[in-house]
Amino acid sequence: MSEAIERPSGGAPPAWEYASAPESTDVVRLEDRYGLFIGGEFVEPKSGRWYPTISPSTEETLAEVAEADAADVARAVDAARDAAPAWQRLAPAERAKYVFRIARQLQERARELAVLESMNGGKPIKESRDLDVPLAAAHFFYYAGWADKLEYAFPGRGTPEPVGVAGQIIPWNFPLLMAAWKLAPALAAGNTAVLKPAETTPLTALLLAQVIQEAELPPGVVNVVTGAGETGAALVDASVDKIAFTGSTEVGKAIRRATAGSGKRLSLELGGKAANIVFEDAPLDQAVEGVINGIFFNQGHVCCAGSRLLVQEPVFDVLLAKLKDRLQTLRVGDPLDKNTDVGAINSKAQLDKIEELVESGVDEGAEIYQPECELPERGFWFRPTLFTGVVQSHRIAREEIFGPVLSILTFRTPDEAIEKANNTPYGLSAGVWTEKGSRILHMAQRLRAGVVWANTFNRFDPTSPFGGYKESGFGREGGLHGLEPYLSFDGNHR
């Protein structure tokens, strides 16, 4: 079968020449320094500490941001606590107006947010422009719609009440979008919040704070504290009613320990090692696009990335040849270039982790394939990478790499595919590629994953719940399920 796509010349596919099409950064007006957003104002940190935030594609410093210590975090939590009673008493339709206002303002400033997201995080502009920012706005629109309908959202459960003050800790892979996932349901349900963005990507959260200020939300309803793990840990320990966390399983476990017995509610959205399963009857060209998107979207910095490809043996050769061909056409480089498919790795630390795991793959005997491509001299980069000859015991088959690296395994029967797919401590997402509807349903029932995509991958929608099993965490975000963790019913805090 593989002869079908072998080239007569045997050479590499013809290279397409693209003129660069960089998005201008003029639309972004950076300040030299950003304070903490507390009580509706940007304030200096009591800690007196600041740190530089850089662009991972140029290593240039973009701005300095404040590093909040425990006293700063306590001040933000106090502001959220003080703001809570009035925000809760506000007529729900009024509360909705504020949330709608944020959504509209995100649309209004979409270009600025997209460019800033790509500058600070390294993701391709076509992704921040077409996915991160529109989806962030969509979350605020969606949850704004629920604000005055909470009593109808959960029939028979009693009167819904807000939980109180939410501490929200988010990662660096979708900085603005994760802020939206956290804040939109919390606000719509009548809670106040303290948000802590990831240390490498604070800038869009701080721009969101400006948007919130301009939308004239009552001071203290949303507060943003910047800093690294210590700041996050201080927020977990602070006097909040709920912690919502997205990030590594390791930190998730530490937060679980820290909150145990405290009465604080907790939701955790952690790592993943998703199986993307291609059956022999799958539409292969469509599957190739889904597999590529599944692992190379956002440099593979995606908790639900399809990082383990399971291919049914009869189509292995042809699918691999198609994947290698497709890999050659991915354009790696400047995140602000509209032609770029794969941008910069988010940080030096993440690049080190990817390199270490890839080395382990080679050492353990898997076969590596990387396309030829030039990488910029400065910044953090990693070539799109495939591994064949992967067995389940390899680290690259077990551990989350969180980079543009695909591990390919094979299977013969549906049962074997299910066994291999579920043979992981994680359980966040999975993909199934087949022509048969009955097989999709059969697989979806047996895959231990919070989301199962069929003949597509990495699709997101504010109305649709998202979350994991096992070490991928618990609790759901998105849809009605995402509203529930921010509500209690008749004082019954569950």
Chain residues binding ligand NAI by CB under 6 A are 169-171, 173, 196, 198-199, 228-229, 232-233, 236, 246-248, 251, 254-255, 269-271, 303, 350, 353, 400, 402
Residue 150: CB atoms within 10 Å: 19
How open is the CA angle 236-240-244, to the nearest 5 degrees? 60
- Name the 3-class secondary structure at 433: strand
Q: Which is nearer to ligand NAI, 452 or 487 (by Cβ)?
A: 452
Whether 304 is catalytic: no
The CB-of-201 to ligand NAI minimum distance in angstroms stands at 9
The CB-of-9 to ligand NAI minimum distance in angstroms stands at 40
The rounded distance, in Å, linking the Cα atoms of 315 and 366 is: 20
The rounded distance, in Å, linking the Cα atoms of 350 and 341 is: 19
The CB-of-264 to ligand NAI minimum distance in angstroms stands at 13
The rounded distance, in Å, linking the Cα atoms of 134 and 131 is: 6
- Provide the β-strand partners of residue 433: 278
Which residue, among 100, 93, 111, 117, has the nearest Cα to 172 in the 3D structure?
117
Q: How buried is residue 493: exposed, middle or buried, by Cβ count under 10 Å (0-12/13-18/19+)?
A: middle
Do the bridges between strand 385-388 and strand 405-411 make them parallel or antiparallel, or are there none, so unpaired? Answer: parallel
The CB-of-96 to ligand NAI minimum distance in angstroms stands at 29
One of 117, 199, 303, 304 is an active-site residue; which one? Answer: 303
Which residue, among 147, 146, 148, 212, has the nearest Cα to 176 in the 3D structure?
212
How open is the CA angle 165-166-169, to the nearest 5 degrees? 150
The CB-of-249 to ligand NAI minimum distance in angstroms stands at 7
The rounded distance, in Å, linking the Cα atoms of 311 and 412 is: 8
Residue type, position 483, single letter: L
The CB-of-475 to ligand NAI minimum distance in angstroms stands at 13
Question: Are the CB atoms for 311 and 386 separated by under 8 Å?
Answer: no
Residue type, position 485, single letter: P
One of 161, 269, 399, 471 is an active-site residue; which one? Answer: 269
Q: Which is nearer to ligand NAI, 198 or 277 (by Cβ)?
A: 198
- How far is C-alpha 35 from the geometric centre of its chain's CA atoms? 25
Q: Which is nearer to ligand NAI, 133 or 303 (by Cβ)?
A: 303
The CB-of-449 to ligand NAI minimum distance in angstroms stands at 14
DSSP string across 135-174:
HHHHHHHHHHHHTT-HHHHSTTS--EEE--EEEEE--SSS
The CB-of-253 to ligand NAI minimum distance in angstroms stands at 10
Q: What element of type H or E holds 206?
A: helix 203-214
Q: Which is nearer to ligand NAI, 43 or 254 (by Cβ)?
A: 254
Q: Which is nearer to ligand NAI, 160 or 247 (by Cβ)?
A: 247
Q: Which is nearer to ligand NAI, 151 or 356 (by Cβ)?
A: 356
What are 63's two structure tokens? 């701005």
Q: Which is nearer to ligand NAI, 161 or 471 (by Cβ)?
A: 471
Q: Which is nearer to ligand NAI, 400 or 484 (by Cβ)?
A: 400
Chain residue whose CB lies nearest ligand NAI: 232
The rounded distance, in Å, linking the Cα atoms of 139 and 103 is: 8
The rounded distance, in Å, linking the Cα atoms of 415 and 371 is: 33
What are the catalytic residues?
269, 303
